Amino acid sequence: MDSSNKKTRSQQEWNELFHSLYTNYYKKLCIFANTYLYDEDEAEEIVQRVMTKLWEQKDDYDTIQNVSSYLYRSVRNHCLNTINHKKTEEKYKSDAWNELRILEMKATEEDLSEEKEQKLKEAIENLPERCQDVLTLSKFQGLKNKEIAEQLNISVKAVEANITRAFATLRKVLQSPNNSES
């Protein structure tokens, strides 16, 4: 037999145990995650990831000494990782937006040539429609990412991705020394 301390369970026993854990902890963990994230959807997503990980590691379940502590610690760690990732993304977007503003100011100071202005307008017009919509709502109408997501019926992450894509394209156009085609 197995010389380790692991208890072998049938699939049905594991299913019942997991169902019990899921039923007892899911809502509590979502509330806990939401205290970090202030975003119910994201909190649920993290709890689902933690529960999925537990399911996938069912062979190691018996090595967990305190399941409650394990679940709460896992959710907390995922939340902190998500917060750090968001901060990094926000810093990148903020830096990109500041860089774009600086480039725009330099361009204004240098009295943008009509050709370069036209190139910038064309670059905006050539952005995918969703990027144009997101850029307009974000930078010209001043809406927050969550408001844009609700208005366009897309996720906040999709809004962020479209803004990043738009900035990258516009930055290339603004930085182009001779404004030649890409």
The pLDDT profile of the chain, 182 residues, written as one tens digit per residue, is 444 445 677 888 889 999 999 999 999 999 999 999 999 999 999 999 999 999 998 888 888 889 999 999 999 999 999 999 888 888 877 777 777 777 777 666 555 566 667 777 788 888 889 988 888 888 778 888 889 999 999 998 898 898 888 888 888 877 766 544 44
What sign does the dihedral 168-171-173-178 (CA atoms) show?
negative
CATH 1.10.10.10 at 112-175, yes or no: yes
> Which ranges constitute the DSSP H helices of the chain?
11-37, 40-56, 67-109, 114-126, 129-135, 145-152, 156-175
Q: Where in the chain is the domain with CATH 1.10.10.10?
A: 112-175
Task: State the Cα–Cα distance between residues 142 and 105, nearest whole angstrom.
Answer: 19
Q: For the whole prediction, is pTM greater than 0.85?
A: no
Look at residue 182 in the predicted model and tell me its pLDDT: 41
Task: State the Cα–Cα distance between residues 42 and 81, nearest whole angstrom.
Answer: 12
